[in-house]
Structure 1
Amino acid sequence: MKKTLAILAALTVSACFGEEPPKVITLSGETMGTTYNVSVVGPPDTLEEAALAADVEAVLADVNAKMSNWDKGSEVSRFNVSTETGPVSVSGDFVTVMAAANEVHKLSDGKFDVTLGPLIELWGFGPREPADPVPSDTDIETALSFVGQADKLILKAEDSTLSKSAPEVGINLSAIAKGFGIDAVAGKLKALGVENYMVEIGGDLVTGGRNAEDKAWRIGIEKPEPGEKAVELIVPLESKGLATSGDYRNFVEHDGVRYSHIIDPVTGKPITHWTTSVSVVADDAMMADAWATAMLVLGSERGLEIAEANDIAVYFISRDENGDKNTYVTKASSAFEALQKAD
């Protein structure tokens, strides 16, 4: 589950934009099984809202056509159903996403993994519900035999090819493609001459420049409370991406035990540590998206070690280890604390 509260500043007089409040274009719609919102502050005079809306829709349609696991005709879906184990030509965008996924996989102790699909389906968080909500150890081991992108997939970026070790190996890009799509929209805005913007899809986002008050965009991180929309912390963002991953809304219960939709690709089972929400700030939305998932699987203890070693801005919210459901413990990396101090 990804959720961030996008807080837009009120439109007030700004020295940067002149004496009059800047023009703001806002667009919204549906994509990737969720919603999107685009805000453009002080657009070029030649930029028409209708044309911009069409451009945004075209970019998102192109991303879905390549990376949607729900579109049976998409590039990733065709790769998944293919029985070919030799090199398959893939698009430049696919190479970009897979290269980023490989980087996060390597740095995260293998906790970020795009071959997680068999386990997602086994635990009932995919397109079908399992006959038994709690898989057997044997079924988990079988699913794990097709998981592990480091040795199940071979990306040759220079040739724009991707191969898999067995026909059953597949790719699920749900934890990184959304961020790529956000960045793709932002790239289109910049190509059109837009300098100040925010692009948000399903709570993940990227900002460019400054808001209508000529200040950094101010984004609220949500408290990890099911059924509520309260702000835990305000994060100032200027030309940065932000993603939040949490386990407090998407889960299943069986015999009184809650099973998170966040699955550890190493154990093959839902995470059991106390970390319930992770927010990551990165240079773009794609890396923020991927690292938010990776950090949630890692948990605050190991996640913070990796964050410090790689200068990642991350904010952890964990449940009280003594079982108090109303008490949370927060931790932030040095890079995240520096962002707050710079506000």
Structure 2
Amino acid sequence: MTFSVLRPVRVVLASAFLVLAVAALAGCSFEEEEKVWEISGPVFGTQYHINVVLKEDQDRLENLANGIEEVLEDIDASMSTWRNDSELSRFNRLDDQSKWTGISRSLYEVLATAKKVSELTGGAFDVTVGPVVNLWGFGPDARPEEVPTEDELSSLLAVIGHDKLALKDEPPALRADPNQYIDLSAIAKGYGVDAVSRFIESEGISAFLVEIGGEVRVSGRKPGGEAWRLAIEAPVTGRRQINRVVALEDQAMATSGDYRNYYESEGKRFSHTIDPKSGKPITHHLASVSVIAEDCMTADALATAFNVMGYEQAQELATRENIAAYFIVRGEGGFQTDYTPAFSSFLAN
């Protein structure tokens, strides 16, 4: 069983793949002094759920919970576009972004990873697409009364692009030309998972599961020696249904899909995932893609990029680059699944 501490409210996981830790652990037989404790709370407009394996120690658990809150607050204060006072929002408001602006090491790391994924995927991942996301009503701005026009999209697409950003390592600095609005919502949660994981490791805990809004990273094994089991969710609107289960030990997994965040207008469905090349919501048949990587930040960005690219292009790229990816595709007879060779070793029986 799991032991819940430190948070008065337990919230059901709202993820594209459900973490099976709670259910699976309920049937485990633990060593007498080893228990799985859950720490949970709100963050980034979603929820975080963390399972740690350690002996019962209320003071240590309280300090751990407080430390996790501090890590997440620092990330939110740096990378949120929903906070006017965040480091990223301040950069986005600069009158002249063409001059080098010093940034935090954490913001640099996220932007550097974003740049690598953008280059790898031919621009399918692009953190400058924020103005287009906002135009469609999926950002901090209110939903538009009408669907954006071709002229509106063209004017934005003409000035944005991941290649408009430049980074400098020492000291960390950023510049953009012309001015850009950077949105890290497709990678910041993954970075948050990694940052919390590093903090937990620094506290001497080697077995844990960290989940933020569906992005997950695990370390070690559960008491009894079992790997952590995660479920890839079927992309069915309005209910939870497991498609496949994977077993992880020291990996991260992220999922991107078009079946949770969308709206309908004049009989058409508009996904929150925007193709940076067309400036429009994706319309292909790839419903969901899950990516396993060593770090959650990379998995998060790759899952988004693959979701933009569509099944054929993403499957080809992932296979060529030996990336572990699992695809759920809409077909005439229902959902069809496929995965790359690198993913096969993680499938649970």
How many angstroms apart in 2 are the aligned matches of 1:30 and 1:213?
A: 30
How many angstroms apart in 2 are the aligned matches of 1:46 and 1:158?
A: 41
Unaligned runs of 5+ in 1: none
The letter of the residue matching 2:215 is D
Alignment correspondent of 1:106: 119
Aligned residues: 332
SS of 2:186's equivalent in the other structure is coil
- 1:141-168: CA deviation from partner (whole Å, max 9, x where unpaired): 1111232112x1111123311001023x
- 1:68-96: CA deviation from partner (whole Å, max 9, x where unpaired): 11111111111101112211000111111
Alignment correspondent of 1:170: 181
Q: Residue 25 of structure 2: which of 10, 30, 33 is its match?
A: 10
What is the CA distance between 1:130 and its match in structure 2? 5.2
Alignment correspondent of 2:71: 59
Alignment correspondent of 2:130: 117
How many angstroms apart in 2 are the aligned matches of 1:195 and 1:82?
A: 42
Q: Does the CA-based 8 Å contact 1:2-1:246 persist in structure 2?
A: no
How many angstroms apart in 2 are the aligned matches of 1:292 and 1:198?
A: 20
Q: Residue 263 of structure 1: which of 274, 279, 293 is its match?
A: 274
Q: Does the CA-based 8 Å contact 1:236-1:339 persist in structure 2?
A: yes
Q: Does the CA-based 8 Å contact 1:21-1:212 persist in structure 2?
A: no
After TM superposition, the structure 1 = structure 2 runs for residues 15-26 of structure 1, keeping only pairs within 5 Å, are 19-20=31-32, 22-26=34-38
How many angstroms apart in 2 are the aligned matches of 1:237 and 1:135?
A: 42
The letter of the residue matching 1:220 is A
Q: Residue 209 of structure 1: which of 220, 242, 252 is its match?
A: 220
Q: Does the CA-based 8 Å contact 1:300-1:331 persist in structure 2?
A: no
What is the CA distance between 1:31 and its match in structure 2? 0.3
After TM superposition, the structure 1 = structure 2 runs for residues 40-189 of structure 1, keeping only pairs within 5 Å, are 40-42=52-54, 48-84=60-96, 85-129=98-142, 131-150=144-163, 152-167=164-179, 169-189=180-200
TM-score, normalization by structure 1: 0.92
How many angstroms apart in 2 are the aligned matches of 1:173 and 1:72?
A: 15
What is the CA distance between 1:283 and its match in structure 2? 0.3
- 1:56-78: CA deviation from partner (whole Å, max 9, x where unpaired): 10010011111111111111111
- 1:159-200: CA deviation from partner (whole Å, max 9, x where unpaired): 311001023x11100000111011111101000000000010
The letter of the residue matching 1:10 is L
Alignment correspondent of 1:333: 340
What is the CA distance between 1:127 and its match in structure 2? 2.1
Alignment correspondent of 1:35: 47
- 1:103-132: CA deviation from partner (whole Å, max 9, x where unpaired): 100011110000011110111112223544
SS of 2:310's equivalent in the other structure is helix
The letter of the residue matching 1:55 is G
- 1:211-264: CA deviation from partner (whole Å, max 9, x where unpaired): 133111000111100111111110101111111111012112222111211110
- Percent identity over paired residues: 42
What is the CA distance between 1:270 and its match in structure 2? 0.9
Q: Residue 284 of structure 1: which of 278, 285, 295 is its match?
A: 295
SS of 1:5's equivalent in the other structure is coil
Q: Residue 321 of structure 2: which of 297, 310, 323 is its match?
A: 310
TM-score, normalization by structure 2: 0.91
Alignment correspondent of 1:252: 263
How many angstroms apart in 1 are the aligned matches of 2:255 and 2:223?
A: 24
How many angstroms apart in 2 are the aligned matches of 1:141 and 1:331?
A: 35
Q: Which moved more, 1:173-182 or 1:126-135?
A: 126-135
How many angstroms apart in 2 are the aligned matches of 1:43 and 1:118?
A: 48
Alignment correspondent of 2:250: 239
The letter of the residue matching 1:258 is R
How many angstroms apart in 1 are the aligned matches of 2:224 and 2:80?
A: 36
Higher relative contact order (CA 8 A, sep 6+): 1
Q: Which moved more, 1:135-144 or 1:121-130?
A: 121-130
- 1:250-300: CA deviation from partner (whole Å, max 9, x where unpaired): 112222111211110011111111001111111011111111101100111
